[in-house]
Amino acid sequence: MKPLAFAFLLLGTISVVIGMGWGIQMSATADHTLSPAHAHLNLLGWVTMALFAFFYQLVPGADQGLLPKLHFASAALGLVIIIPGIVMAVKQTGETMAKLGSVLTLLSMVLFLVVVLTKGRKSA
């Protein structure tokens, strides 16, 4: 597997393992207060990272250059900031981390859009 695709898939798999464990914990305690953070971890962490991994694995040359590396850095950083940020927002202890994580996550998606537009066309 290509290194960038592997990095995205590894991050996604770690996210879903944590997300599933968190979901079991919420079910066992009947406390679903943090379900928004749990849902974001599963969606952004597992689904989105896995889709990124598949794209970078399947599209020739898409993983080359600085832009894909910046994409990974912003996606990973956004994920590890937004999840505790959502927890803090739900617990009403501050929203700064959720906002910062959201901006980084959006930036990562814009970077991915540029990668798709520039490198995805070349493989067609």
Predicted local confidence at residue 124, as pLDDT: 56
Does residue 48 fall inside a structural domain?
yes
Polymer length in residues for the chain: 124
Domain count for the chain, please give it: 1
From CA 110, how far away is CA 74, in angstroms rounded?
Answer: 10
* 24 within some domain: yes
Which residues lie closer than 8 Å to 92 by C-beta, 6 or more apart? Answer: none
Domain assignment present for residue 124? The answer is no
Q: Considering the domain boundaries, does residue 49 fall inside one?
A: yes
pLDDT in tens, the chain (124 residues): 999 999 999 999 999 999 999 999 999 999 999 999 999 999 999 999 999 999 999 999 999 999 999 999 999 999 999 999 999 999 999 999 999 999 999 999 999 999 999 998 875 5
Enumerate residues 6+ apart whose C-beta is below 8 A from 50. Answer: 8, 9, 12
Whether residue 50 is contained in a domain is answered as yes
Check residue 66 and give its pLDDT.
Answer: 97
Is 102 in a helix, a strand, or coil?
helix
Residue 36 belongs to domain spanning: 3-119
